[in-house]
Amino acid sequence: MAVKEYASLIVVILAGSILLLSTCAGPSSSVTSSAKSRMAFKLALPEGYSVDDATHELTVPQSTLPDSAATAPSYLTAAEVTITGEGMDTYTTRVDVNNAVASFSVQPGYYTIFVMVWTNLETTFTGAVTVYLHGGDNGTIVINMAVNAPPQSISVKVSNPAPMVGEIITLTCDIVDPDADQITYTWSGGVTGSGPVVTYKVPDHLPHTFTCVADDGNGGVISGSVSINTGAAASGDMDGDGILDAVDNCPTYPNPGQVDTNANGVGDICELIVNIVMPDPTLNACVKALSPGLTYAYEVKVLHCSSMPGIGSVAGLEQLPLVTDLFMEGAAGSPGAGAITADLTLLATHPSLKILSVAWSQLNNYTQLASLTGLLVLKAMGTTSLTPDGALSLFAAMPGLNRFHGDDSQITGSLADVGAWPSIQYFWFNKLISPTSPNTLTGDLSSLAGKSLLQLELYQQASITGNLSSLAGMPLWDLDLCWSGAAGDLSSLAGMSLSILRACGSVTGDLASLAGMPLSELRLQGSGFTGSLANISGANMKSLVLFGTSINPDVSLLSSATNPSVLDLSNTLPTLVNVPSLSWFGGSKLMLGGNLNVSCGDFATLIGAIGSPPVDLGPSYPNIPVTGFNCAQPVPDTLPPLTMAWADNGTAPGGSGTWDGKAVINESGYGYCIAQNVGDPAPTPAEVKGPATAAFQVGARGFITVLPTASAGVCTISGLTAAATYDFYFVAEDTAFNLQTGPAKVTAVAP
């Protein structure tokens, strides 16, 4: 029986940083030996920053702080770590954002570590990595996570709310951004120009409304508006709403409708926030929390009711008619956790609402969202519905919908639905928590041809089909097609200005197609990638992950990419050469594991040159140097392979008594499969491989002669009873004749 190993997690987070999961272990041991490991999240810090490893205290340059405080950003509230893998139940624990430890117990094998950081804003941050954990020192594990706070408030002002025809007025857009990002300003309402201050020449006597949209370039968007009425000031109408000041129930802010919900003589828009009452107690508490920071209703542009589940009604929000951004989110990372059973159709008449987030919430039903035709941004990631009616086609009636977040939601649909949205530019529909997340997307990439998409993320949407050529010519800067069903060649992306590209699975091509792109993050996984590393050796590169590729192995060609904080060339084939040339690397994560013909002498030279950063030498190099071992030779491969997938392939003809199983393993090798009656004792790996012995007899076997790394193969078993149910077992064997430690199992019906 395998002995378990123990590991701990420490989380430290800084805005704008990269979150790292590293390990430091006790004595080295084999896969089945006892070991204790610690896993620590650490930071890739900008110049001038430092962390005390003993106390986890953060020191930052004083010029970047309003005072001497040196902690994680105040808007970060909590973090959660989830670990899943073979032979264990999902382990989830909540940790503190500054300094916390979570202990867990695992057997050696492949595990996915998922981290989610929550904030008191509308944003959550996630990162994940799949790693192989073995006995002894597990090296360093990387999770990329950029922490960014979106703009939190906006004030749009006009130099004269009651100008004369022909007068030139000045419009000012003031925002508060906790991270002080570079903001891009976009104006509508007939304004030409950009930036926080613009001018406008009044063309007529009609009222005009101007909207400013502020974008921090990291996914944070906020908007606000201001209106003018010509010639009103001279007539004793200070706010220009057509109501004379003497009888205006809100003379300082335009309210031509004179709405006064509580009949106290003060118009709703001028009402003191402390006097506003919402029928729903949870919503009422959310509004009351705005005071004393804000005083009057007309000051409320953004309303955050996140982490306040149980909102049963949005009635009364008409008392805050200038709210443009509304956030009613549940607990991040827990789909459907926040129950919002309110009738959201009441928001359809809200004149200013542009951004709505109901992330991680349980809705009364999705169809209510379809009535909000004025939305520009809809965040519905992690949402469930009391009525299973979530379909992307519901949102076709939103002519201005520009951003849509549907990660891990209960919403389903087709790319054809998205292609029909006239204004969509940002579309996220990832399966982040699990490949079995209910948000399922079908359709072909060709449905998006001609769109002006800037971001497209379809991680683990396996039912997607189509070719990269359908995306040619788009202004994309973020593209994630990892483990989707999309295929095609990188040449279709040539000429784009991609900053982020993640392509795994059926995408292939030469790295030459990426030359000249301002890439800051690149992940390519699969044997179909070729070419020279020189093509992706740009100064902007911060995270480079090439797993199982067939690129030119000369890593000296990366010499121009001197700024990466993450460099992962694990299992890159053919074998890497000129490894010591990476002596320039000064980042926090260098992973070269799995290249079995790289000498440990080269590794020792590299470590000596770069001062022993967290370098992962891979499971075949537990220690460098090894006492009594010739460092000019590779360490023999003693690690067993792992089955990454085993399922019914669905290709055997009906009535044939033949069953086809699809298998994927993590390294090149062979596959063996057998069929047993349901409920029979599970076989050992040797019994699955065969041959039969007197103690173990089985009537039906199959074999895969060659199974390339991460590629699917079919193991066929004949002689079965048609329409009968069996337990089908599979084990992998690598080219060094290491046999998988435990068989994979699937229960299925033989055709």
HEC per residue, 437-468: CCCCEECEHHHHCCCCCCEEECCCCCCCECEH
Residue 393 in any domain: the answer is: yes
Residue 249 sits in a domain whose CATH number is 2.60.40.10
Classified as helix, coil or strand, 510 is: strand
My answer on whether omega of the bond before 475 falls inside 30° of 0, hence cis, is: no
Give residue 33's pLDDT.
28
Last residue of a domain, one of 107, 142, 177: 142
pTM value? 0.56
CA pseudo-torsion sign 703, 708, 710, 711 = negative
Q: Are residues 324 and 383 in the same domain?
A: yes
Same domain, 269 and 410: yes
Q: Which residues pair with 224 in a beta bridge?
A: 212
Cα–Cα distance measured from residue 515 to residue 591, given in angstroms and rounded to the nearest whole number? 23
184-188/325-327 β-pairing: unpaired
In a domain, 135, yes or no: yes
> Does residue 509 belong to any structural domain of this protein?
no
Residue type at position 274: V
CA atoms within 13 A on the CB side of 138: 28
Q: Which of 100, 379, 77 is nearest to 219 (CA)?
A: 379
Burial letters for 502-524: b for 16+ Cβ neighbours within 10 Å, e otherwise? bbbbbbbbbbbbbeebebbbbbb
What 393-398 contacts at long range (C-beta under 8 Å, 24+ apart), as own/partner pairs, is 393/417, 393/420, 394/366, 394/367, 394/369, 394/370, 395/369, 395/370, 395/421, 396/420, 396/421, 397/370, 397/371, 397/373, 398/370, 398/372, 398/373, 398/374
**Sites in the chain below the pLDDT cut of 70:** 1-74, 86-91, 93-111, 120-124, 127-147, 165-166, 204-206, 231-235, 307-309, 333, 339, 570-575, 592-604, 607, 611-636
Residue 602 belongs to some domain of the structure: no
196 with 169, same domain: the answer is yes
Does residue 108 sit in the same domain as residue 226?
no
Looking at the structure, tell me whether residues 285 and 429 fall in a common domain.
Answer: yes
Cβ partners under 8 Å of residue 144, min gap 6: 18, 19, 127, 521, 543, 566
Residues 273 and 342 in one domain: yes
Structural domain includes residue 58: yes
Residues 300 and 328 both lie in one domain: yes
Query: CATH number, domain at 333?
Result: 3.80.10.10
Task: Assess whether 421 and 326 both reside in one domain.
Answer: yes
What is the residue whose two structure tokens read 């549940």? Answer: 330
Dihedral through CA 384, CA 385, CA 389, CA 391, nearest 10? Answer: -30
Nearby residues of 105 by Cβ (< 8 Å), 6 or more positions away: 4, 5, 6
User: Considering 116, 142, 168, which residue would you say is the last residue of a domain?
Assistant: 142
Do 271 and 417 belong to one domain?
yes
Q: How many residues does the chain have?
A: 751
Q: What are phi and psi of 686, to 5 degrees?
A: -65, -35
> Could you tell me if 34 and 97 lie in one domain?
yes
For Cα atoms 200, 201, 203, give the angle at the middle one, nearest 5 degrees: 125
**Residue 131 within any structural domain of the chain:** yes
Task: Name, in order, each residue with C-beta under 8 angstroms of 306's C-beta and a sequence gap of 6 or more.
Answer: 120, 121, 122, 327, 328, 329, 330, 357
What's 704's DSSP letter?
A: E
CA distances from 340 to 66, 321, 334, 361, 469 (A): 38, 21, 14, 6, 41
pLDDT of residue 655: 84
Q: Are 642 and 109 in contact (CB under 8 A)?
A: yes
Q: Are 729 and 744 in contact (CB under 8 A)?
A: yes
Largest CA distance in the chain: 106
pLDDT at position 418:
94
Tally of domains in the chain: 4
User: Which CATH number do you get for residue 736?
Assistant: 2.60.40
Which domain range does residue 187 map to? 153-258
Whether 213 and 83 map to the same domain: the answer is no
The last residue of one of the domains, among 380, 407, 442, is 442
Measure the CA–CA gap between 18 and 95, rounded to whole angstroms.
Answer: 18
Average pLDDT taken over every residue of the chain: 77
3 state SS for 619-667: CCCCCCCCCCCCCCCCCCCCCCCCEEEEEECCCCCCCCCCEEEEEEECC
- 200 and 287: one domain? no
549 in a domain, yes or no?
A: no
Which uninterrupted H or E stretch holds 352? none
Q: Is residue 534 part of a domain?
A: no
The pLDDT of residue 621 = 39
Q: Shortest CA distance to 480 belongs to which of 144, 227, 232, 197?
A: 144
